[in-house]
Structures are given as C-alpha cells and as structure tokens.
C-alpha cells in the first residue's frame, strides 16, 4: 500500500484545509515545488496534487505550480484534482507530465463526462468521491446528494476509471483517525483500486488500513499528519511495505 503525500495548492502556496473549508486553511509552505521534493526524498512514490482554487473556479488556477512539480519529478507518478471539468484540461495536464486526472464534482453532476474521458484517455482517469455517512458530497462538500458512494463507484468502474479516491469528509483534516470500515465497504464492493483519504493521523491508521480484510485499498493519501509530524512518511511507508 502506498502512502501518498498530498500537496494542496491555494494561491500558489501549499496549504491544508479543515473539512474542505477554504477559509480554514493552514499555510505550510510558500514553495510547493520544494515541498514535493521533500516528500519524494522521504520515500513518497506518488504525489497527490489538488488545485483548491481550481476546484472552486471550475478550471485550473495553480497550473504553474503543478507544471513545475511535474518537471522536477518525471519518474514519480502524479495525480491531480481540482477544477477538471473538460477533456481539454485532462489533455493539457497529461501533456505536462501528470499521470492521473481526478474528476470529482463533475463526475457526479455529469457522469457521461467520466465515460468520455475514459475513452479519450484510457488508464489516466480517476474519480474522487467525497462522502459523509456513505452519501456523496459535491460543490466543495457544501451539498450532500442522495447518491450512495457504492452505486456511483460501480458505475464509474464500468466506465473504465483506474481507481476511486474515497474521502471521508467528516475526518478530513481533523486528525481523528481513518474511517476503516467505510474504506473497506467500498473496496469490497468494487474491483478497481480504492485510495483512502481523510483522517490518516499516525502509524496506527497505516496499520489499520494494511490489516483491513481486503487487498483492494492500494493507497492512502496523507496530508496534515505528515505536515504536522504526527506521521513520519518514510516510517509509515516502511510499515506499509512490511504489512502488505
């Protein structure tokens, strides 16, 4: 299982939000490229980049920072989310070295977009599903829909997405531990890989995910924990390698 460092971009800086609230942010670095280099040097084998401004604008905003990170780490798989609403955006990201584009809100609002993207860019599309109590949330988590996570995940699996990033919004940025039961429930319901997100705080969370009764959780995104030091990335990855 991979531990995937998160680099959330807001106004060109590396930040972390609490429960997705743009007004509740903590700035960890004014140089995202340096932060990316740090995580790669500490053993990160994949990077998770989020254009927070883009997510709210509906189009990429922090493209320069993303491009710089891709150029500096051509051998590290990079996944990007935030503001991906058009096929042209995916094409542009892949051109600069992004490996996987994560479609979030647009996947729920226009599921056909996911199907088109998978046909146009096979192997490069991931869907991000954010949920509270098993129901999908959209629009920066401001709106809880009546769509169960499992139902949408199965649909997108049939469309050909490479993985599902599943975020428990009740845990994200709160340092309260990962919701293992929710991750396992989704992982057991589909055949494509699940990437867990939200609440990963320390080695106990890494161990819990690795020891879960499924092999379908292929990665776990970690943000605030590695920035604040409650989880050492290198140590966490070593533990994951030992257990899985």
Catalytic (active-site) positions: 8, 130
Measured in whole angstroms, how far is the alpha carbon of residue 77 from the centre of its chain?
Answer: 13
Cβ neighbourhood burial of 83 (10 Å; 0-12, 13-18, 19+): buried
Q: Tell me the residue length of the chain.
A: 244
Measure the CA–CA gap between 67 and 11, rounded to whole angstroms: 15
Tokens of 241: 């390698």
Measure the CA–CA gap between 93 and 155, rounded to whole angstroms: 25
User: Which residue, among 32, 6, 43, has the nearest Cα to 227 in the 3D structure?
Assistant: 6
Tokens of 234: 């290198």
């Amino acid at each position: 299982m991979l531990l995937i460092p998160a680099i959330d971009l807001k106004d060109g800086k590396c930040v972390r939000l609490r429960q997705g609230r743009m007004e509740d942010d903590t700035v960890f670095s004014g140089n995202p490229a340096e932060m990316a280099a740090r995580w790669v040097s500490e053993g990160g084998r994949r990077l998770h980049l989020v254009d927070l401004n883009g997510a709210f604008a509906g189009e990429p905003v922090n493209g320069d920072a993303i491009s710089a990170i891709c150029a500096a780490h051509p051998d590290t798989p990079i996944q990007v989310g935030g503001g991906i609403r058009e096929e042209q955006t995916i094409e542009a990201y892949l051109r600069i070295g992004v490996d996987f584009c994560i479609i979030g809100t647009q996947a729920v609002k226009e599921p056909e977009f996911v199907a088109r993207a998978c046909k146009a860019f096979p192997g490069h599309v991931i869907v991000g599903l954010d949920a509270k109590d098993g129901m999908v949330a959209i629009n920066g988590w401001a709106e809880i829909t009546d769509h169960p996570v499992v139902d949408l995940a199965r649909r997108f699996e049939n469309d050909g997405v490479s993985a599902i990033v599943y975020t428990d919004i009740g845990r994200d940025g709160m340092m309260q531990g990962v919701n293992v039961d929710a991750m396992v429930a989704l992982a057991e319901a589909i055949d494509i890989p699940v990437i867990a997100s939200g609440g990963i705080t320390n080695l106990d969370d890494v161990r819990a995910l690795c020891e879960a009764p499924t092999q379908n959780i292929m990665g776990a995104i970690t943000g605030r924990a590695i920035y604040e030091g409650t989880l050492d990335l290198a140590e966490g990855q070593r533990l994951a390698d030992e257990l899985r």
